[in-house]
Structure 1
Amino acid sequence: MTIRIVLADDQPLVRAGLRMVITDASDIEIVGEAGTGAEALGLARELRPDVVVMDIRMPVMDGIEATRLIKELSDPPNVLILTTFDDDENVYAALRAGAGGFLVKDMVLEDILAAVRVVAAGDALIAPGVTRRLIEGFVERGPVRTSRRREIEGITEREREVLV
């Protein structure tokens, strides 16, 4: 099965470079290209790709907002963020918007193709350096505190034992 993708990046040179690499992949086909988030949204609606490869910083509508709106479509495509801006704020915003992957543009091109395949399959993938930061942040916060046990009235001791 061929994975149909839309490339969304405001830099024509970046799109051209990705196009050259992707053209060599027999299982991935570029069905559209967008220079703004608004164009990416329109192409996602019209072309129904499997994956939108999305930059974050673009004119008219950024990639985060475009991702959020794309994920609100009926039967939306998966979104793979590919950006130079890997700060935590962008990572969290992209994931909250519904992105299935987050990569930085300095990754090896074969890894980008592999990520397209992973995201197309419905799985998630985050660049290793970003993953390391997310894990460190999670560990630093410590255990999640649970709320106090709520007492349930009107049940027997045995029923309470079973519930616990």
Structure 2
Amino acid sequence: MHSIIIIDDHPLIRRGIKDLITIDDSFEFTGEADTGEKGIEIALALQPDIILLDLNMEKMNGLETLQAIKATEIDAHVVILTVSDNEKDIVAALRAGADGYLLKDMEPEDMLKRLHDVIEGHIVLSQKVSEVIIQGLHEEAQNKTRQQATLTRREQQILSLISKGLSNRRIAHKLNIVEGTVKVHVKHLLRKLNLRSRVEAALWVVEQKTQKKNNRA
């Protein structure tokens, strides 16, 4: 059974998520907090498998909380759960190390499926979030040409695995290298391709494959 805590300053949201999680026997709701500071304390004490984190909170916001969590010994999948589909918020959260970005208006069944996916090491996104990122890529392509730099063989391998939704940890395990090495390769390939996050990289690969299919048709 996988443990979940939620950090959100809205009591109704916390109650709703708790009720939803109890439906699935694979998950256990183990704690909640209404501020980032309290959330970090609870996460340190309980060491949950998943942290659901609101983005827009007073005092310590979700992004600040995420950055603080990543700087601790908390080894949890952190998934942003928010109402914001703003591209800047999405990119900032993913750059800060979020393992997913879900919108609060998604269907309950879809949310549970995404939680199962994140446990397996995948980066999870709401459908609308994926669409926002893809639209951003299209708009960027109109303003500047993406550098078609030659990636090394290892960078190509890692890019392919990123496009399948694998986390750095799972990529490292699959390629039998340390996670730190994966992070370095990801940083290099993002810079070469002029992309801002691993999620953009994954969507860019899908976009390139789609364009090739359309060109062949």
TM-score, normalised on structure 2? 0.63
Structure 1, residues 102-133: CA drift from partner, whole Å, max 9, x if none? 11111001111111111222210111111112
Task: Note if 1:64 corresponds to 2:100.
Answer: no
Instruction: Give the aligned partner of residue 150 of structure 1.
Output: none
Instruction: Give the aligned partner of residue 161 of structure 1.
Output: none
5 Å matches for 1:10-21? Answer: 10-21=9-20
5 Å matches for 1:1-164? Answer: 2-74=1-73, 76-142=75-141, 143-145=145-147
**Distance of 1:75 and 1:12 partners within structure 2:** 24
Range that drifts further, 10-19 or 67-76: 67-76
Instruction: Give the aligned partner of residue 167 of structure 2.
Output: none
Q: Which letter does structure 2 place at the counterpart of 1:145?
A: Q
Aligned to 2:136, what secondary structure does the other structure show?
Answer: helix
Question: Which structure is richer in relative contact order (CA contacts within 8 A, separation 6 or more)?
Answer: 1
More strand as a share of residues:
1
Identity of aligned residues (%): 36
Q: Is the 8 A contact 1:78 1:120 kept in 2?
A: yes
Q: Which letter does structure 2 place at the counterpart of 1:45?
A: L
**Distance of 2:136 and 2:107 partners within structure 1:** 26
Aligned to 1:113, what secondary structure does the other structure show?
Answer: helix
Figure out how many residues of one structure are paired with residues of the other and give that number: 146
**Distance of 2:2 and 2:11 partners within structure 1:** 22
The 1:35–1:75 alpha-carbon spacing in structure 2 relative to 1, beyond 3 Å, is closer
Larger radius of gyration: 1
Aligned to 2:122, what secondary structure does the other structure show?
Answer: coil
- Return 5+ residue gaps in structure 1 as ranges: 148-164
Q: Is the 8 A contact 2:82 2:103 kept in 1?
A: yes
More helix as a share of residues:
2
**Distance of 2:74 and 2:103 partners within structure 1:** 26
- Return 5+ residue gaps in structure 2 as ranges: 150-217
Q: Which letter does structure 2 place at the counterpart of 1:105?
A: K
User: Once the 2 structures are TM-superposed, how far is the Cα of residue 146 of structure 1 from its aligned partner?
Assistant: 5.8
Q: Is the 8 A contact 1:38 1:60 kept in 2?
A: no
TM-score, normalised on structure 1? 0.83
